[in-house]
A = this chain, B = another copy of it.
Amino acid sequence: MEKSLRKEKEFKARRSEILKEAEKIFASKGFYLTTMSEIANASGFAIGTLYQFFTGKEDLYTRMICEKLEKMYSEIRETVNNSPTTAEKIENLVSTHFYFVENNVDFCNLFIRGEGATLSKGKTILRDKMIADYLNHIAFIENIMRIGIEERLIKAVEPRVMACVLFGIVRVFIYDWMLTNQEAPLSSRVGCALDIFMNGVRAEVPQC
């Protein structure tokens, strides 16, 4: 019992180690230019050993992406759900996302690269998963919008559209930050992003 417990633990530790190293290499070269042999080398295991943790290269890649995305989304959700007011929820939706990106630059590079929509011939598992994740996340934001509308914080237009816009703004800030590699941390842009989202860019019409 104890023995099997330790084994279980060791197994997970090794698996994590592999995923960690794989992430770096995949991030720098993409799925196709990364070889199993490289991952084996980097993680200190033999090639054959990788196949005890994953059914193949594609599985390794897919799980790496999925587990990391899972982590990101759950972090965002948890923080948002724990925020008392809607305004704070919205703010944390953005700031947690930014925070994750800052701490996982390599991983996020994969998405700028964007690879992986279709890996092997027939399968679109990863593509489907990523679309599902997107739709899920949009639905999650949409819900917040809906609450905001009820609370009269947000105007009563299609909440889904607003959710998309917010997500689009988040994504473009990330994209721009990763490409331009600014000195300022991404998280310093939260206020800026939210201001435009909330108030738009139109100049204030002077009130009588």
Contact = CB atoms under 8 A, between A and B. Distances in A.
Interface of A: 28-33, 111-115, 117-118, 120-121, 127, 131, 134-135, 138, 145, 148-149, 152-158, 161-162, 164-173, 175-176, 179-180, 189, 192-193, 195-204, 207
Given A121-B33, A155-B203, A193 B165 contact: yes
Contacts of A131: 179
Nearest to A165: B196
B172 A165 contact: yes
A168 B154 CA distance: 20
**Which of A168, A170, A201, A204 has most B Cβ within 10 Å?**
A201
Contact of A198 (B29, B121, B200): B200
A65 to B, nearest CB: 13
Contacts of A192: 157-158, 161
A24 to B, nearest CB: 14
B152 A203 contact: yes
A198 B207 contact: no
A196 B148 CA distance: 15
Contact of A200 (B127, B148, B197): B197
A38 to B, nearest CB: 12
A160 B145 CA distance: 27
Given A155-B204, A161-B196, A171-B171, 8 more contacts: A29-B121, A30-B118, A113-B127, A135-B179, A152-B203, A162-B196, A172-B172, A207-B207
